[in-house]
Structure 1
Amino acid sequence: MMSTLTVFYVKLVLVVVSSVVIWLGAKNDTFWQKIQQKRQENRAILIGILAFRLLPFVIIYVFLDQSPRGDVPFFWGKATQAYQWKLVYRDFISFHAPVFAYIITLPLFLWYSSKAIVLLMVLIEALIIWLTYLAYQRRSQPDALKSTLLYMLLSGPMIMVLLGGQEDIWMWGVAAWMMLSYLRSHNDGFGLGVRFSTGLIVIKATFVFWFFPLWFLLKKRWGFLLGMIAVGVPSLAVLYAVMQLDFLMPVQMGTTNLLTPNLFTISRPWLTYLFGSLPTLTVFSWAGMVITLSVSVLAVYRFRNLALEDTLPLAYLATYLAMSIFQPTSVGYYAFAYLLPLMMELVDWKKQRDVVVLLFLNLLLVVQPFIFTHINSPTYDDLTVFSQPLFILEYTLQVLNVACFGWYLWQVYRKNVSSPQLA
C-alpha cells in the first residue's frame, strides 16, 4: 500500500495536470461545438465517466490493489454491521440518515470488500452527473456539456470520490432529481416534497438545511409540505417504535465534532486571545446553524418570484456555501456536495477570473486536508501555534478556503437570473 506522502504527491500531480487540461478546455470553444454539431453529447459524457471514474477505479483498486482511504473504513465498519441485519443507531454508530447504512451494504452481497463501497460511490456520482446534465440541457444552458465534462476532469471531485469515497454529492443528486421533476411537470407541490423527504431519510440530517431558502421559492408550499409529511411522519414513527430516541444520534454528533476549515476555526485563536475562554462547540454549532439558514434565505429571497428551475440550485448553493463558512462542524471536503452545481451556475468559462478561482479552490481542497492531518490536526486554541511555519501555512490555507466559499456565496447573491416572473 502506498504511503500517505506518496499518495499526496500523486494528488499534486493530478491537480497540476487536470488544471492545465481544464484551462485549455475552457478556452477551446471549437472542440465543444464539434461535439454538439455531431450530436455526440451523450457519448462524450459516457466516455468521460469511463475514462475519469471507472478506469481510475480499476487501476487503483484492481491493478495496484490499494486499500480504500478517507471515510471508506468508517463506512465499511457500519456496512458490515448492516450486512448482519443489525439496527443502525441502536447497534452501531452512524452520522448519516437511517437508510444510508443499508444502501452502502447492497454491493457487499456481490463483492464483500470495502472497494465495493467506493465503486458504489463512483456509480452513484456518475448517475448524478447524468441527471444534472439532463436537467441543464432541458434548461437549454449553452455550457451544460462543457461544465459536465470539465467537472469530471477536475481533480478535487475525482480524488474525493475515488480516494475518499465521499458521498456528499448525493445531496445534490436529490436536488437535481427534484429539478428534473419540476422541469417535466412545473409542479412544485406534493411530488417535490416527497422527493425532498426521501433525501432526509437516505443521506444525512444537514440535507434539511436548504428547506428554509427553498420554502420562499415555492409556489405550492403547503402541497410540498404535505409531500414531506407523507414520507417523514411514517418514517419517524417507525424509527421511534424500533429505537426510541436513538435515531437522533446524527443530530447530536453533528454539533460536537470540530472540523476545518470554516469561520470558527480561523477566528478561534483570535477569539481565545481576546476573551480568554469560549463557549462550548455546541453553542457555536447552533449559532452557526442559525446564521447559515439566515444568510441562505437572504441570498435567494429576491429570486422568490422567478421560475423554480432557475432558483432551486441557487437555494441549494447558498445553503451549503453558507454552511461551509459558518458551521464549525463543516469540513472542506463538504464542497463535494456542491462543486457540480457551482460549476454549472457560477462559472463563466469565458472569464479567466472564474476559471482561476475554481482551479485555486480545487487546489486548496486537495492540499489543506493533507497538511492539517500531517501536523496532527491543530485546534488553534491560542496564538502560540503561529510560531511554527507549517502551522502558519495550514492556517493561511484555511483562511483562503473560507474566502473562496465567501466569494462564491456572494456570486449567488448577485447572480443575474433572467427567467420570467411566474403568475
Structure 2
Amino acid sequence: MPVLTVFYIKLLINLALTIGIIWTISRSDLFSKWQRENDKLILTLGFVLFRLIPWIGIFLIVNEEPRGDIPFFFYKAEGAKAGGFVYRDFWSYHAPLYAYIISIPVWIWHNARAIVLFMVLMESAILWLTYDTYKSKSPKALQLAAIYYMLPAAFMYILVDGQEEVWFWGAALLIWRYTIKNRSNYEVGIGILYAMTLLTIKVTFIFLLPALLVMVKKPIKMLLVMAAIGLPAVGFLYWQIGDLFLMPIRHTEQLMTPNLFSVLRPFVEIVFHVDEKKSTLINWFGLLFTIFIPVYMAFKARHRHISEVLPGIFIAVFVCMMLFQASAMGAYVIAYLMAVLFEIIDIRKTFHVVVLLALDWLTVVQPFVWVYIKQPAYTSLGLFANTSYLFEYVLQILNVLCFLWILRETYRKVVHSQTLATA
C-alpha cells in the first residue's frame, strides 16, 4: 500500500478516535459507575476493540508489513534467537537484554508481526497497572484508561509501528508503586529496579537518575545497590566484546525533530553554522537542561515524599529530553503520554483536552510530513518561501509549545501541589 495512502487512512482513523475520545469525556458518570462495578470488563473490551481487533485487521486481514522500527527489532530478535551475542553478532541501540526479551514472541511465531503484538500486550499490561495504581485516587481512572486506548499517538506508534518507549513509564511505575508500599528504606528496592531497567530497555532512562537521587533519602545506598548489579554486568560485557557495549550511547548524533534546536535553528544559523556531522556538542548542551530542570524540581519538592512527586519528575525528565535534545524525535512522546494523561490532564478543562488532542495529532502528522518533504534542515529563513517547509515548521512550533505547556503544568504539580490527588 502506498505510503501516502497509509497516511490518509491514519488521518481518518485519528478522526474516528478523536470522536470516540470526545464521547468518552462526555460520559463521566457512566464510566464512574463502570469503575465501581465492571472495570475489568471495560478494560478487556478496550483492549479487544482498540488493540487486538485492529492488530488482526492490519496485520492478518489486510496483511500489511510492520513499519517503523519493527524490521530492525525483528533483525535483532532473530539474532538473539539464533544465540548471537548482542552488539557483537548483531547491532542494537538498546540495553543488552532488550533483544533477548523481544525474541520471546519470535520463538512462538517467527514473524515481525509477533513483535508488534508483544508491544501491544506490554503496553496494555502497563496501562492496566497504571489504572490499578490510580483507581483508588480518582473516580475517573477507568475513563482515562479508555481515553488512552483511543489516543491517536498511542494507537499509531504502538499498534502500527510497535514503539517500545512506553516501557519507560512501565519501569518508573514499578519504582513508584514500590515507594508507595514502602514509605521508608526503599533505596535497595529502587536500586534493583533501576539497575534492571538500564539492562533491559535503553540507556536513555539514565536521565531520570540525577533527580531520583535528589528525591531518595539515602542516595549513596541506592547507588551502591545499582553498582552491585551494574558493574558485574558491564565487566562481563567488556570481557566478552570490549567497548562494543557502548553502541547505544553512540546512537545520539543524528539531528531530529521536533525540539527547541530544530525550531530555533534558522536563527542559530544566522550566528554560526551547525555541522550536522559533529552535532554531539549540541546534545551535550541540551543534556544540561534535560538533567538540571528535573533536578531543580526535585530539590524544590524535597520536603515531600518521593511517592508524591515521582510521576511528575518522570514526566519532566522526558519532556525536557524532547525539548532540549537535538536528537529527540516525536515518537518519544509515547514514553510519558500515559503518565501525562493520568497525572496532569484534567478532562473537565477544555484547554487541557485541546492540548492533549493537539499533541497526539501533531505526533502523528509532523514526523510524516517532515520525512515526506525529504527531512529538511532549516538552516536559513529563506527556506520558508517553500510553503511545504513553512507548514512543517509551524507543526514543529506547535509541538514544542505543547511540550512547554506540559512542563509548566508538571512543575506546578510537583512544586506547588501539596497532594497527589488527581482530578
Coarse TM-score class (shorter-chain normalised): over 0.9
- Percent sequence identity over matched residues? 37
Give the AA of the match of 1:30.
D
Separation in 1 of the partners of 2:80 and 2:28? Answer: 48
* Matched residue SS, 1:414: helix
Pick the aligned partner of 1:143 from 140, 165, 169: 140
**Cα 1:277–1:335 shift into 2, 3 Å:** closer
Separation in 2 of the partners of 1:242 and 1:290? Answer: 33
5+ residue gaps, structure 1, are none
Q: 1:75 corresponds to which residue?
A: 73
Q: Aligned runs of 1:165-314 on 2, under 5 Å?
A: 165-187=162-184, 188-254=186-252, 256-277=253-274, 280-314=278-312
Q: 1:329 corresponds to which residue?
A: 327
Q: Aligned runs of 1:2-151 on 2, under 5 Å?
A: 2-37=1-36, 39-138=37-136, 140-151=137-148
* Matched residue SS, 2:9: helix
Give the AA of the match of 1:264.
F
Give the AA of the match of 1:29.
S
Residues matched between the structures, number = 416
Pick the aligned partner of 2:363 from 359, 362, 365: 365
Contact 2:315 2:340 in 1 (8 A): yes
Give the AA of the match of 2:11.
L
Stretches of 4+ moved more than 4 A in 1?
276-279
Contact 1:307 1:419 in 2 (8 A): no
Separation in 2 of the partners of 1:35 and 1:142? Answer: 10
Pick the aligned partner of 1:389 from 387, 404, 418: 387
Q: Aligned runs of 1:154-173 on 2, under 5 Å?
A: 154-173=151-170
| CA offset digits 1:59-87 (Å, max 9, x no partner) | 11111111000111111122222222112
* Matched residue SS, 1:142: coil
| CA offset digits 1:287-340 (Å, max 9, x no partner) | 111111011212332221212222111110010000000000100110000000
Separation in 2 of the partners of 1:305 and 1:53? Answer: 41
* Matched residue SS, 2:215: coil
* Matched residue SS, 1:95: coil
Further displaced range: 385-394 or 335-344: 385-394
What's the CA shift for 1:276?
4.2
Further displaced range: 311-320 or 9-18: 9-18
Separation in 1 of the partners of 2:271 and 2:227? Answer: 46
Q: Which TM-score applies when normalising by structure 1?
A: 0.95
| CA offset digits 1:180-232 (Å, max 9, x no partner) | 22222224210111001111010001101011112211123233223212221
Separation in 2 of the partners of 1:151 and 1:317? Answer: 16
| CA offset digits 1:359-389 (Å, max 9, x no partner) | 0111100110110111011122223321210
Give the AA of the match of 2:398.
L
Coordinate RMSD, CA, aligned: 1.5
| CA offset digits 1:145-189 (Å, max 9, x no partner) | 221111111111011111111000111111111112222222421
Separation in 2 of the partners of 1:342 and 1:127? Answer: 17
Q: Which TM-score applies when normalising by structure 2?
A: 0.95
* Matched residue SS, 2:418: coil
Contact 1:79 1:101 in 2 (8 A): yes
Give the AA of the match of 1:384.
G
**Cα 1:147–1:301 shift into 2, 3 Å:** farther
What's the CA shift for 1:278?
5.6
What's the CA shift for 1:118?
0.5
What's the CA shift for 1:277?
4.8
Contact 1:288 1:327 in 2 (8 A): yes
Give the AA of the match of 1:18.
L
Q: 1:375 corresponds to which residue?
A: 373
